[in-house]
Structure 1
Amino acid sequence: MTATNYSFPTSAVTALEAREIACVRGERELFAGLNLQVLPGQCLHIRGENGVGKTSLLRLLTGLASPESGEILWNGHSIKKDLSAYHGQLLFLGHRDALKEDLSALENLRLYSAIDGIALSDRDAFASLWRFGLKGREDLPVNCLSAGQKKRVLMARMVTRRAQVWVLDEPFNALDTHAVLELQGLIAEHLESGGLAILTSHQPLTIPGLRVLDL
């Protein structure tokens, strides 16, 4: 199973946008008047030094936090109008791996598919884990896996989640060179199927449809 087994519907208004948004943390303004638009087939690479607001911007774009001013729109409408519907189209992977350490890789995929309301067959679950080098480790508790292997479980979840909008915070951390190329290939497949992605990373990337935003 690969991400190209399905495609996402698009229309003239399909886009994730930020309009004149500002972000304040404590007494410090991280950014203001920020505008961006990401269309299907595009990946936005947000760059900047630590502390400039990269993760804060991702949280605004996911609806987990609200901007000081301005608005976030999905398909031309504020995400606040129906946040649950927007979250149904969203996959957010933050700094923490968000895996249940006492469950196996396979059980994690099944758990999150149930939470997301997505039917996941054993065939697709195993295929996704095997694709990312986890054959023979499907039933190991996640706390027995290395940091890189945990990231590979998350890569399998990216395939099975089937969300149109991917928001990824430093997804390449703890990955070796081969896995970095695999993940870039997975993101490229997602874009080809009509998805869009926004990510932070400190390393240079080679993904078709990549744009850069420097904070």
Structure 2
Amino acid sequence: MGLNVSDLTIARGGIKVLEGISFALEPGCAIVLRGPNGIGKTTLLRTVAGLQPPVSGRVEAAPESLVYAGHSDGIKATLSVAENLEFWAQVFGNSDIYVAIEAFQLDRLTTRPAGGLSAGQKRRLGLARLLVTGRPVWVLDEPTVSLDAEAVAMFAEAVRRHLRGGGSALIATHIDLGLPEAEVLEVGPYRAKPAEADDFDEAFL
């Protein structure tokens, strides 16, 4: 089972931003979310990942099948690169970190404290965490921030390999990752209608 979203309405700060969204993400497939900044892509991803409740609608996925990567790299500055990956591998019940190290070319950085890495290196380490989770559904919010062209190519290849292995990915990005098999979902048509004036009357009673 992949991910199924049915008639989803979401809100930010108590105000609806997107409504009526439905899509299915099957194993081996990717969906790229597109839309202007501020429209609600991050809110949608956080809702899908279970970090906040929807206003209405349903998100269906197998238990513990999703992993979310947001704007934070989620690394511990005082631990080395290898120790960071070992920590996350243990959290998810895995032990092999070398596939992740190889995929994001971190082999020369394994003993370096994460706090001493460049912004791009920190981002590569943060994304490498995906490979040690063992979870099939990746939910990713602007994953290529701080990455140069070479690192973007590393990430795109990691996604392709994940899809070939039967995984899936839901990605918000403005960059063309070179994934011709990915479906593009424009979220603009799902922008919530502005609230009617009558909806606010009770606030002043």
- Which range, TM-score by smaller chain? 0.7 to 0.9
Counterpart residue number, 1:185: 157
Q: Is the 8 A contact 1:188 1:208 kept in 2?
A: no
Larger radius of gyration: 2
% of aligned pairs identical?
Answer: 35
Counterpart residue number, 1:149: 121
For the residue of structure 2 that corresponds to 1:136, the secondary structure is helix
2:100 is equivalent to residue 113 of structure 1? no
Counterpart residue number, 2:146: 174
2:34 is equivalent to residue 62 of structure 1? no
Residues 128, 205 of structure 1: CA spacing in aligned structure 2 closer, same or farther, 3 A cutoff?
A: closer
TM (norm. structure 1) is: 0.82
Q: In angstroms, what is the RMSD of aligned CA positions? A: 1.5
Deviation at 1:208, TM superposition (A): 4.1
Q: Is the 8 A contact 2:2 2:27 kept in 1?
A: yes
Specify the code of the residue in structure 2 equivalent to 1:98.
G
Specify the code of the residue in structure 2 equivalent to 1:19.
S
Q: Deviations over 1:112-140 (max 9, x none)?
A: 1111122x1xxx42453244222221111
2:78 is equivalent to residue 91 of structure 1? no
Q: Deviations over 1:4-23 (max 9, x none)?
A: xxxxxxxxxx2201111111
2:112 is equivalent to residue 125 of structure 1? no
Specify the code of the residue in structure 2 equivalent to 1:17.
N
Counterpart residue number, 1:79: none
Of stretches 146-155 and 175-184 in structure 1, the one that deviates more from structure 2 is: 146-155
Q: Counterparts of 1:194-205 in structure 2 under 5 Å?
A: 194-205=166-177
Q: Deviations over 1:11-62 (max 9, x none)?
A: xxx2201111111223532111111111011111011111111010001111
Deviation at 1:181, TM superposition (A): 1.2
Find the aligned partners of 1:192 and 1:69 in 2 and give their Cα distance.
33
Find the aligned partners of 1:210 and 1:187 in 2 and give their Cα distance.
11
Find the aligned partners of 1:176 and 1:24 in 2 and give their Cα distance.
33
Specify the code of the residue in structure 2 equivalent to 1:112.
W
Question: Which blocks of at least 5 consecutive residues in structure 2 are unaligned?
Answer: 188-205
- The runs of at least 4 consecutive aligned structure 1 residues that moved more than 3 Å come to none
Deviation at 1:190, TM superposition (A): 0.5
Question: Which blocks of at least 5 consecutive residues in structure 1 are unaligned?
Answer: 1-13, 76-85
For the residue of structure 2 that corresponds to 1:73, the secondary structure is strand
Specify the code of the residue in structure 1 equivalent to 2:2.
A
Q: Is the 8 A contact 1:22 1:32 kept in 2?
A: yes
Find the aligned partners of 2:103 and 2:20 in 1 and give their Cα distance.
42
Q: Is the 8 A contact 1:45 1:199 kept in 2?
A: yes
Find the aligned partners of 1:41 and 1:127 in 2 and give their Cα distance.
19
Deviation at 1:178, TM superposition (A): 1.1
Counterpart residue number, 1:100: 76
Q: How many residues align?
A: 187
Q: Deviations over 1:109-167 (max 9, x none)?
A: 1111111122x1xxx42453244222221111111001111122123322222210101
